Structure formats: C-alpha cells, structure tokens
Amino acid sequence: MHLLTLEGMKAEEITVLLDSAQSFLEVLDRPIPKVPALRGKTVAMMFFEPSTRTRLSFDRAAKALSADTLSFSPSGSSISKGESLKDTAKTVLAMGPDLMVVRHKATGAPWRVADWTGIPVVNAGDGAHQHPTQGLLDALAIRQRFGALDGLHIGILGDIRHSRVARSDIDVFTALGAKVTLIAPRTLLPPTLDSWTVETAPDLDGLLEDLDVLYTLRIQQERGAESGFPSVAEYVKRFGVTSDRANRLKPEAVVLHPGPMNRGVEIAASVADGPRSLVTTQVRNGVAVRMAVLFSLLGGEQ
Amino acid sequence: MTNSILVQGGLVMTANGPTAADVLVEDGVVAQVGPDLTGDTLVDASGCWVGPSFVDLHVHLREPGQEWKEDVASGSAAAAAGGFGAVVAMPNTTPAIDSGYLAQHIANRGAEVGLCDVFVAGAITEGRAGKALAHLDDLWDAGVRIFSDDGGSVADAGLLRRAMEYLEARGGIIAQHAEDSGLAAGGHMHEGVISSQLGIAGLPSIAEEVIIARDIQLVELTGCRYHVQHVSTAGSMALVAAAKEKGLAVTAEVCPHHLALDHTLVLGMSGSAKMYPPLRDESDVAALVAGLRSGVIDCVATDHAPHSANEKEVPFEEAPRGVIGLETAAGVVNDAVGLEPRTFFERMSVAPAKILGAAAHGQWIDPGVVGNLVVFDPTEEWVVPRHGVSRSSNTPWAGKTLTGRVQLTMLNGIVTYQKATS
C-alpha cells in the first residue's frame, strides 16, 4: 500500500523490488524508453523541501511508466503562505492523484499524509529518518557490482546522526546480509546505537583495507555551529575520502555518495570521478528503482 | 437558607484515616462526619473515596493571549470535572504574568467563574526573558506565592540567585522548569533509542538534571524554597532525594503522563505524544512511580497544556509541546500508580495545598473544614471522550479506558461538577 520505511523490510521483499528495478533498467535502455504500465495513473510530487535529483528521478520514473505527474514547489506556493501540510495534502488529493510522493523536513510527515489521504504514499525523505528509494538504489548499485551484499563489509562515513540516507541504507544493507561499520566522530553518530546492528569506528584510516564498499555521506556545512566538528579542514583531515585514502582500499572496493557532493570536502574530485565511483550508477538506478516502486504500488490494479 | 448536601456511604478521608461514613456539608463547610446522617440533597458515594478536592500546582489556562486554546472559564470547568478545587496558573501567557495587576486580573477571573480557586504563579524574570527580575513585590502583594519562568529555565544562575535571595525572607517559592537550553537545543523528544531511530533531535535527561543539580546548590546557598516542576528522570529524582536528605527546602511534582507513558508512544508520531519534558524511557517511569509512592516526589501536577487540534495536527517536530491533563489526572494516577487512598489524597491534594499555602484546601474531611471535597470512584472504568470539558482535546488518553473516575466535586460546599448519570 505504501513505501514509507525500509525498517523491518525482509530480504525477500527487497529482492523482489531490486529484481524489478533491474528489469526496468532494460526498459530505460530501449530506443523508446517508455512502457504503458501506468497509463492513466497520476502521481503527485509533494516536495516540501528543496530537491533536485530525487524529484527529477521520480518524475522520470513516473513518465517512463506513462503516468501523469502533478507537482508544486514549496516556494511561491500555498506552502509559503502558511498552508498546513494537512490542507495541502487534502487539496492535492481532491485533484485525484493515485499516489503521492512526499518529501518533508519533519520525521513522519509521509505517515501523516498517508493517514489523511488514504492513498498510497512513497516516502521521498522525511527529516533525518528514512529515504527508502535511496536505500534501494544504493543496494542495487552494490549488488550489480558484487552480485550480492551478503558478507560484504560496508563502511558508512560521515554525518550519520542527521542522515535519512544512512538510516535507510543501514536497514537495507543489513537485511541483505552485509556487515555495516559507521565511521564518524561521536558528534555525528546518533546519541545511542542500542538496537542498531552495526559497528562503529572513530577513524577511517584503520578500516580502509578491510572495506568492500565505502559509502560517503554529504557533510552538511550549512549546519554551522551545530555541524559536530570544529572545522571543515579538520573533518577532511580525519574523514575526507582523498586519493591517498582511496588508493588504500581493496582493489575491487567501490565508493558511493548520495549527492549532492561537496567536492574536496567529504570526497576528492579524483575519487568522485574515478574508477571506484558508483555515483552515476546510483543516479541511473534511482530511476529504475522508483519505477519498480511505483509499479509495485499502482501496477497491480490493472 | 442553605440546602445541605449529604454524601452517603463513602470511604471518608478523615485526619484519623479512611473511615466509612456519611459527610454532611452545610453552609459551605463540612458540618458532620459520621454514620446515618440526614441532609437535603443526597449524593450516593458507595464504593467511592471522599476526600479533599485535588490541588494542581501546574496548569496553563492560556489567558491572556491564547484563549482559542483555553481560558480561565473553560480551564476552571475542566479542573472541576477532574476533581480539582484549586489550580496554579502558569505565567507563560501573552503578555507574561510578571506584574501584580496581571496576576490579580487572572485571580479575579477565577473568582468570577467560581468553579475552582485559581492561584497564579508569577514570572521570575521580566517578560520571562531571563534578563531582569520581574516585579516580585508587586506580584507578592497580588497574592502570588509561587514564581516560575515555566516553559523554560532561568538560565542565568546569578539572576536566579538574586530571585532566591529576594524571595527567601518572605517564604516565596521558586518553581523551576529544569531544562538547560544548550543541552536541549533543537530537541523534540527524549534522547534515546527511539529518537536515534527516528532521527529526531533529542532532549537528553541530563538537560534536566544539570539545572536541578545547580539549583539545589543555590538553595543551599540562599535557603530559598525550591520546587522542581514536572520531574521526569530517575536522575532528577535522585537529586531531589539527596536534597531532601540534607534537609533543604526542596519539593517536587510529577505529571500523570510521566507516570504512565514512555517514549515509545512517539513512534505513533502523534502530536499528543509531545510535551516538555518529554516522555522518557521505562526505567524513568518506574523510578517516578516509586518516587511518588515513597514521597520523594511530593505531589502530582498535570502541566495541563491545551493546544488546538489544528496546531497539533502537524508533523511531530512541528507540533507545539504539551498535553491536557486536568480531566484525566486522577484516573491516570490511580491506574498507573495504584496508591492507597490516604496516600492518593496526600499526593493529589494535601501536599500540594501545603506547598501552595492554600489553607482552605488539602484538609482532611472532618467537621469544620471548608467544603472543598471530591467523590472519586477508584474502580469505575470509563472511556475518555475525544472532546471533554477543556476547550482543547490534546490528550493521549482520548478514546482510552481508565480505571477511577471523579463523580462529584464541591467548592465551598457548592457542587462544581457532577458526573452525568447515564
């Protein structure tokens, strides 16, 4: 009915979605990359927070399935005039969409929209909580490279505390059998990791030779005094994915980043554009994963 | 001229302990307590506890400035429905109650409404801004005995020391909402397993505890009476217990929701799970229940904090803080803590009345005391209505079943609430 979180999702369910995404990738390779699977359906894009890639990706996915899309931008809309989330959701609902894609800066907002509207909702990122389609596309990129996630050692590096990507990634990576190590200063880890099936490391250097996958998160420099580290220079010195560090990874190891990247901060340009980088694969997978998700929620009715 | 009211067949909380007896209330006072009395109007109290009406040291009546949430009239009616005879209105109104005329105005409004005695807490600092002392003498002359910048702490220890020194000689009470603004910055819920999972910034227990620890040091220095508002952590409890052991003039209250609920409620992401201090973890709940039983925590206070439905019907992080509590307090405490009747009335009435210095309240039911009493059935199961007497409905107990219900409330011998007979 919805895709709100990856928490608790079973490996089998994940695999079904990833397999479906893999087959939609083939659709995207066709001369006419479009199928009529969701013709007549309307997908409402409810992005209450700025977004470029996720929004474009959902839009592309919906259109590749021949669905129509409705969208608004938060600035210059009724949102900037103080309309409540509930009223906006009800207003858009009255226009007859079949599904809503919701991004909001507050945790749980997509759940509230699901309660208020009664139609399928896809969480496109809520607060620092979940970003399920990102988790799935990341898992797909890793699976494509290694065949499976089972037994891989994946390091997630950076601002895990404030990252919805990290939470969804941890859920999907561990569900598929990977070992996950969080690499961050204490200030960028969640206050407690009780009940999290992860390990932690206070530094990147001691771990490089052991990782199959290094997942680098964006440093949120706009957080200023609450950024959790004394200066960008100090962060880069201890945690930046530099060429030197990338060279110490296993030969087959890969580097991922959810974007947008701060080149030269959490990741060096030479690494982002280098042979280990799966960044463009991630973006491409994003469209296919979102096709798979939209199809799984809307396609069965036909 | 006055109709006498006979409360028949209850378990009456007399100074000598609970006694099966009738209570005759006449001319505003308890005239007789004993077997087989007669009176004009009969109230059946069989199976019920008859004790002094409850006293709440911590409510938000939202007047002046936020009357769409609550006002003195609607809040007094909710208080009466919850068995309360006296409430203390917090000063975080718009404008803040930092002057005598404002405090007097609210007390007068309470008297006009006449459903419960409305006492007023005055701000400690001007405008609750934490910069300069409020008009403390002026407030005192208007009858204010409890001072609080509730909604936030007085962060400046120097300023708080001056307030304590100023009030100490008169016996005034500093009541602190203990929350260090730096440690609590940006937080929306208890910092712990659930907040980490949800990615919501936390309000750590330590944010409450560092303020209480600091303040107790200031109490030791100044000798001022000090009351900890809404104690929510096991650590805070331990600090209060240690202060009491030292013989310091420290008292503490606990909210019903902190005795009954923990932070897992936030997983439902409802605005009714949001309040400051936040719902803590289950070990804190157990410690608070034990503290109320033992008396380390002196009393229950609701922190009744009304908000309208549209303000609360938003994502959790955007919801205003606070839940209402007047109408459910007795049922929740009875349900969650299960106190013996005498202790129940100690914590709900006698102790808070004593802290407040409200002589007409918290008196055991014996001939001659003012007719401020409540009839409470500790065994009645009832479903909390989605919309009660308060103007607002932001309670986590809406639609839930509680055991223990107020049947009748009397203020100065006049019935202010009687449960509708079904």
Q: Does the CB of B93 have a partner CB in chain A at under 8 Å?
A: no
Residue B387 within any structural domain of the chain: no
Same domain, A295 and A167: no
Q: With b meaning 16 or more CB within 10 Å and e meaning fewer, what string describes B137-160?
A: ebbbebebbbbbbbbbbbeeeebb
Contacts of A190 in chain B (CB under 8 A): 195-197, 199
Same domain, A179 and A253: yes
Question: CB-based contacts of B50: which residues, under 8 Å, 6+ apart?
Answer: B7, B10, B11, B12, B13, B23, B365, B373, B374, B375, B376
Q: Which residues pair with B51 in a beta bridge?
A: B374
Q: Which two tokens stand for residue A147?
A: 């065949």
Q: Name the residue among A107, A130, A194 with its Cβ closest to that of B315.
A: A107
Same domain, A146 and A207: yes
For B334-348, what is the mean pLDDT? 98
**E strand or H helix that includes residue A46:** strand A42-47
Which CATH number belongs to the domain containing residue B123 in this structure?
A: 3.20.20.140
Same domain, A117 and A86: yes
Chain A residue with CA closest to B194: the answer is A192
pLDDT digits (tens, 9 = 90+) for B222-272: 999 999 999 999 999 999 999 999 999 999 999 999 999 999 999 999 999
Tell me phi and psi for residue A123, to 5 degrees.
Answer: -80, 115
Contacts of B197 in chain A (CB under 8 A): 7, 167, 190, 195
DSSP A300: G
**Structure confidence at residue B421 as a pLDDT band (50, 70, 90):** confident
Q: Name the residue among B193, B314, B318 with its Cβ closest to that of A194.
A: B193
In A232-291, the residues whose Cβ lies within 8 Å of chain B are: none
Cis check: omega of the bond before B95, within 30 degrees of 0: yes
Domain that holds residue A97: 11-130+283-301
**Which of A164, A41, A46 is closest to A101 using CA atoms?**
A46
Residue B29 within any structural domain of the chain: no
**Structure confidence at residue B364 as a pLDDT band (50, 70, 90):** very high
Q: Which two tokens stand for residue B387?
A: 């919309």
> What is the SS3 assignment for B302?
coil
**Which of B178, B187, B141 is closest to B160 using CA atoms?**
B178
What is the distance in angstroms between the Cα of B153 and the nearest Cα belonging to chain A?
22
Same domain, A137 and A234: yes
Q: Residues of chain A with pLDDT > 70: what percent?
A: 96
pLDDT over 80 (residue A223): no
Residue A43 within any structural domain of the chain: yes
How far apart are the C-alpha atoms of B240 and B252, rounded to whole Å?
Answer: 7
Q: Do A107 and B269 touch (CB under 8 A)?
A: yes
What is the distance in angstroms between the Cα of B310 and the nearest Cα belonging to chain A?
9
How far apart are the C-alpha atoms of B231 and B254, rounded to whole Å?
Answer: 5
pLDDT digits (tens, 9 = 90+) for B393-416: 999 999 999 999 999 999 999 999
Query: In whole angstroms, how far apart are CA B83 and each of B10, B301, B324?
Result: 16, 13, 15
The B54-59 sheet, strands edge to edge: B54-59, B84-89, B117-120
Query: How much is the pLDDT for B408?
Result: 98
Residue A151 within any structural domain of the chain: yes
Query: How much is the pLDDT for A50?
Result: 87
CA angle B121, B394, B317 (to 5 degrees): 95
pLDDT over 70 (residue B296): yes
Contacts of B195 in chain A (CB under 8 A): 190-191
**Structure confidence at residue B2 as a pLDDT band (50, 70, 90):** low
Q: Does the CB of B314 have a partner CB in chain A at under 8 Å?
A: yes
Same domain, A102 and A157: no
Q: Does the CB of A127 have a partner CB in chain B at under 8 Å?
A: yes
What is the distance in angstroms between the Cα of B64 and the nearest Cα belonging to chain A?
25
Chain A residue with CA closest to B309: the answer is A86
Q: Do A193 and B196 touch (CB under 8 A)?
A: yes
Query: How much is the pLDDT for A221?
Result: 76
Q: Does the CB of A75 have a partner CB in chain B at under 8 Å?
A: no
Contacts of B196 in chain A (CB under 8 A): 190-194, 196
Total count of residues recorded for chain B: 422
Which CATH number belongs to the domain containing residue A137 in this structure?
A: 3.40.50.1370
Same domain, A140 and A264: yes
pLDDT digits (tens, 9 = 90+) for A228-277: 888 889 999 999 999 999 999 999 999 999 999 999 999 999 999 999 99
Residue A268 within any structural domain of the chain: yes
What is the distance in angstroms between the Cα of B193 and the nearest Cα belonging to chain A?
6
Q: Does the CB of A146 have a partner CB in chain B at under 8 Å?
A: no
Query: How much is the pLDDT for A299?
Result: 87
pLDDT digits (tens, 9 = 90+) for B156-214: 999 999 999 999 999 999 999 999 999 999 999 999 999 999 999 999 999 999 999 99
Q: Does the CB of A193 have a partner CB in chain B at under 8 Å?
A: yes
Q: What are the start-end ranges of the H helices in chain A?
A: 11-28, 53-64, 85-93, 109-117, 132-146, 164-175, 232-239, 243-248, 269-272, 279-298
Q: Which two tokens stand for residue B139?
A: 């407030």
Rg (CA), chain A: 19
The domain tally of chain A equals 2
Average pLDDT, chain A: 94
Same domain, A44 and A178: no
How far apart are the C-alpha atoms of A270 and A50, rounded to whole Å?
Answer: 28
**Structure confidence at residue A302 as a pLDDT band (50, 70, 90):** very low
Q: Do A107 and B204 touch (CB under 8 A)?
A: no
Average pLDDT, chain B: 97
Chain B residue with CA closest to A112: the answer is B315
Same domain, A183 and A245: yes
Give the distance from CA B202 to its chain's centroid: 25
Residue B151 within any structural domain of the chain: yes
Query: How much is the pLDDT for A225?
Result: 62
Same domain, A142 and A195: yes
**Which of B98, B261, B94 is closest to B194 using CA atoms?**
B261
CA torsion A245→A250→A251→A254, rounded to 10°? -70
Query: In whole angstroms, how far apart are CA A240 and each of A211, A233, B288, B324?
Result: 16, 9, 46, 49
DSSP string over B70-98: --HHHHHHHHHHTTEEEEEE-S-SSS-S-
Q: Residues of chain B with pLDDT > 70: what percent?
A: 99
**Which of A280, A278, A286 is closest to A28 using CA atoms?**
A286
Query: A255, A267 in Cβ contact below 8 A?
Result: yes
Residue A2 within any structural domain of the chain: no
Residue B409 within any structural domain of the chain: no
Q: Is the dihedral of CA B421, B87, B254, B391 positive or negative?
A: positive
Query: How much is the pLDDT for A224?
Result: 64
Q: Does the CB of A112 have a partner CB in chain B at under 8 Å?
A: yes
**E strand or H helix that includes residue B8:** strand B5-14
DSSP B370: B
How far apart are the C-alpha atoms of B96 and B82, rounded to whole Å?
Answer: 26
Give the distance from CA B166 to its chain's centroid: 26
pLDDT over 80 (residue A80): no
For B47-52, what is the mean pLDDT? 98
| Number of helices (H), then strands (E), in chain A | 10, 9
Task: Quote the crossing angle between the two packed helices A164-175 and A11-28, to the nearest 10°.
Answer: 110
Q: Which two tokens stand for residue B162?
A: 């001056």
In B177-216, the residues whose Cβ lies within 8 Å of chain A are: 185-186, 191-193, 195-200, 202, 204
The domain tally of chain B equals 1
How far apart are the C-alpha atoms of B165 and B142, rounded to whole Å?
Answer: 20
pLDDT over 80 (residue A204): yes
**Which of B229, B215, B212, B219 is closest to B249 using CA atoms?**
B219
Residue A3 within any structural domain of the chain: no
Enzyme catalytic residues of B: 303
Is the ipTM value over 0.90, yes or no?
Answer: yes
Residue B351 within any structural domain of the chain: yes
Q: Does the CB of B310 have a partner CB in chain A at under 8 Å?
A: yes
Q: Residues of chain A with pLDDT > 90: what percent?
A: 88
Total count of residues recorded for chain A: 302
Domain that holds residue B223: 53-356
Question: CB-based contacts of A151: which residues, under 8 Å, 6+ apart?
Answer: A177, A178, A179
pLDDT digits (tens, 9 = 90+) for B67-117: 999 999 999 999 999 999 999 999 999 999 999 999 999 999 999 999 999
Q: Does the CB of A109 have a partner CB in chain B at under 8 Å?
A: yes
Residue B390 within any structural domain of the chain: no
Chain A residue with CA closest to B183: the answer is A226
**E strand or H helix that includes residue B353:** helix B351-356
For A35-52, what is the mean pLDDT? 95
Query: How much is the pLDDT for A76?
Result: 64
Chain B residue with CA closest to A168: the answer is B197
State in Å, rounded, how far the first CA of chain A is from the last one.
15
What is the distance in angstroms between the Cα of B317 and the nearest Cα belonging to chain A?
6
Residue B364 within any structural domain of the chain: no
Residue B412 within any structural domain of the chain: no
pLDDT over 60 (residue A227): yes
Q: Does the CB of A86 have a partner CB in chain B at under 8 Å?
A: yes
